[in-house]
Chain A
């Protein structure tokens, strides 16, 4: 499939997303607005993960940490009465980047299984931290005192919030596209493809990987800021290790070889979850084996089906 058809597919997808609020309004089904908005937020998180997982080959099993940090940045500021959205989001991005820098600095020194286990463990540490801080609700979490305030844009308006999320998604798709095709992006992809060769031509992969890890964490932090506004509730469950696993599945289901793949993956996974859970309360009994089968037999992802192999 050539770049032109890909552009058409992408534009169609975005047009469909843009049409959700009026259609949901027309059908009087606000539930769908809510559902798609939630999926788009996770799509943002998944596409940030794909930068390091798909392009950088770093199998981070702890990406939910940054969802949590972004959410706590907003929630904690709101708790103390600071509801300026720009400030909140800047803190969400900055704090996520900082934590990613610390976690990345330790874990990128290792590789393979160590990296998987360490990223998982650090996120679990933050999860327990969230649970043990009673000031912010501990285990139970707490209600978001007020949604982020942006002056003109009112997040209490469901449609406005929806379009803001869509705008962030489109922006990140574009940023991600630029990033992976930049000099920097070529280096992290090269280091993934053949580390020995990359070192021999003169690149030391560590600083590039760390930078990618920080960028991905910061992007996911913003997704966390959106998520807590979406749920209007702050809870350590955002950092639950299963959330990290779900993000990985979104990336893999969608396909790692393109920027838009994880967005497809997020829609696929969350729509299936939604459908199954509407059908039976024991939906995980079906989802689990379904995921196993998808790993065993469906490795190229949805984007692979849709766009062919090349990026």
Chain B
């Protein structure tokens, strides 16, 4: 027995001649925050997309909570407890922040083949949505259209939508990308409040964020995982330093 929530075996995906995922093995333990780092073009987003079910692998298996989910679609994985944020912000720009999150709640609160009652007026959707918006710090912005929020707030909104589906596993693809120092700090703070309660896979370029949040780190280079370990181990791993981190960490 083990306490792995997610197990990936031999995951392989190529686009033409480019091998984006090369026989990837990965284990993510229940409750841990597992960061995946790697240089640009290492195949991090491709990996996340295969985990979330947006992209089918060429070969390999993905097991989640003991169940083989390799062939499941993204919506089906969502209902098993996956939630994803995208590298490029993906929200409903014309809907208000509250409506964005209410939709995420709605997807997990009974049938949506209901044609009559107003969804906006449903308290069972509103209340959890408001709670989540408070939790991520958007409590004062609920009525604004998603497209009118600041960049950092849109990223928070994405996390809120992920949270609203009450996931077991969150896949966060560069949650602090393009953020200023202050926004980054707020997002790191937000993710650290989720730590422990949720299992998180975090793809990130910002090394400070990674080393302050991650319990374990896997390093992806040219589609292969070259090392997995605690932040300390990764920091001192000679191969990793050579292959990727280089002087960035030493500096």
Contacts and interface: CB of A to CB of B under 8 A. Distances in A.
A and B, direct touch (CB closer than 8 Å): yes
Interface in A179-236: 179, 181-187, 189-190, 193-194, 196-204, 208, 211
B79 A182 contact: no
A182 B115 contact: yes
B189 to A, nearest CB: 24
B92 interface: yes
A201 B115 contact: no
Contacts of B119: 181-183, 185-186
B74 A190 contact: no
B118 A181 contact: yes
A203 B107 contact: yes
Nearest to A212: B115
B199 interface: no
A203 B76 CA distance: 8
Contact of A203 (B84, B92, B112): B112
Contact of A197 (B91, B120, B164): B91
A178 interface: yes
Interface string A9-32: 000000000000000000000000
Contact of B75 (A184, A190, A199): A199
A53 B161 CA distance: 26
B15 interface: no
Q: How large is the interface on B (under 10, 10 to 19, 20 to 34, 35 or more residues)?
A: 35 or more
Contacts of B111: 183
B237 interface: no
Q: Identify whether the interface residues of A are mostly helix, strand, loop, or mixed.
A: helix
B161 A201 contact: yes
A269 to B, nearest CB: 26
Looking at A181, A183, A189, A193, the one whose CB has the most chain B CB atoms below 10 A away is A183
B91 A202 contact: no
A51 B118 CA distance: 16
A183 B106 contact: yes
B103 A201 contact: yes
B73 interface: yes
Nearest to A311: B94
B104 interface: yes
A178 B92 contact: no
Nearest to B117: A182
A194 B90 contact: yes
A199 B82 CA distance: 11
Contacts of A182: 114-119
A194 B92 contact: yes
A187 B73 contact: no
Given A182-B116, A182-B118, A190-B103, A200 B92 contact: no
Interface of A: 178-179, 181-187, 189-190, 193-194, 196-204, 208, 211
The 4 closest A-B pairs by CB, nearest first: A202-B78, A202-B107, A204-B75, A201-B104
